[in-house]
Amino acid sequence: MKSLLVFACMAVCGAAQAEGWLDARQQEFAQWQSTHPDAELRAEKLLVRTTSRFSPGMLGAVAAPAVVHRFIGALGQLWDDPVAPRLTVIPAGEFTMGSPETEPDRQAAEGPQHRVVISHPFAVGTYLVMRDEYAAFVADTKRPDPQGCILTHLHGQNGETKGFNWHNPGFAQGGNEPVVCVSWKDARAYAAWLSGKTGRSYRLLSEAEWEYALRAGSTTSRPWGDAIGYDNANYRAEDGVAKQWQFTSPVGQFPPNAFGLYDVLGNVWQRVDDCWNPDFTGAPTDGSPWIVGDCTLRTGHAGGFDAPAKVMRSSFRGKVAGDAHYSDGGFRIARDL
């Protein structure tokens, strides 16, 4: 009887919580719209200005500094729907992708360094996709729960453990924490749902777009510099050092990068759209996703709350099966302007 009451409470309370979240979001969205009445028009103007004044030309040298094509008064934010994530507009530019051979903890997969041109501005989720945002997608599409999740925060967990999923990842989460136990396929389905709901083109970032957006013009091993610390990101506690969160942390708890994106490193691993390749030999130079290689595997970045400091670097690359679910794996969304 007690179990039945618990499950009944979970269903009723969960529905009430979701309804309360949506009410609050609708109010926030209405206020945002009132202060950004011309967002779409400004997005169109930014595209025209970028196209008319930015010519990629020949790729710059690998050793050249990053180039970011900013415009005074350009659109900085977008928000399409109360249930959709807030977006930050990323300007066009050019950067060197990958890490130099001299960078500490560098892996062979991070090279060779190569120059990439991002010729069009695009929008990226200001925050990681949150549980409440993902719950709206699941409720609207009636998407079934995965059969299990790999509990990466527990030692010796290699396969997916049945009964664990995005709303039961093995630890307590709030609605404003990043959704986990979602696969690359789940993330793609979420993007497709947003596209249908808003009439805009949502998608996952390419690997090049992700590193460009994370670096935000920086050339150091991390967007804030070379050092790492618990005041910058949520990652594994080492050497007995205490940190504020044992598992995922609410989004936006750490300073943003120069583009205004939060949690660019740490908290959860972020899926991107590219197939896995062991290094950057032959990688695209135009920012598009690399859709050749081992496409049963997809690329992941940023590290998670249970990952060591050495992977909390702008160029670190990981690989994951496209249909696998991990308790430290989430994603960030992108949208074309």
Structure tokens that stand for 75 in this block: 């659109």
59 confidence band (pLDDT: 50, 70, 90): confident
320 confidence band (pLDDT: 50, 70, 90): very high
User: Is 70 exceeded by the pLDDT of residue 11?
Assistant: no
User: Is 60 exceeded by the pLDDT of residue 215?
Assistant: yes
Please name each of the domains of the chain with its CATH number.
36-336 (3.90.1580.10)
Tell me what pLDDT residue 25 has: 95
Mean pLDDT is lowest, of 25-39, 41-55, 208-222, 294-308, for 41-55
Integer Cα distance of 233 and 236 in angstroms? 10
Element housing 125 (H / E): strand 122-125
**pTM, entire model:** 0.93
User: Is 70 exceeded by the pLDDT of residue 10?
Assistant: no
Q: How many helices (H) and strands (E) does the chain have?
A: 5, 14
Tell me what pLDDT residue 7 has: 33
Using DSSP's 3-state secondary structure scheme, residue 271 falls into: strand
Integer Cα distance of 20 and 85 in angstroms? 17
Average pLDDT over residues 52-73: 86
Average pLDDT over residues 101-118: 97
3 confidence band (pLDDT: 50, 70, 90): very low
111 confidence band (pLDDT: 50, 70, 90): very high
Element housing 16 (H / E): helix 2-35
User: Is 70 exceeded by the pLDDT of residue 296?
Assistant: yes
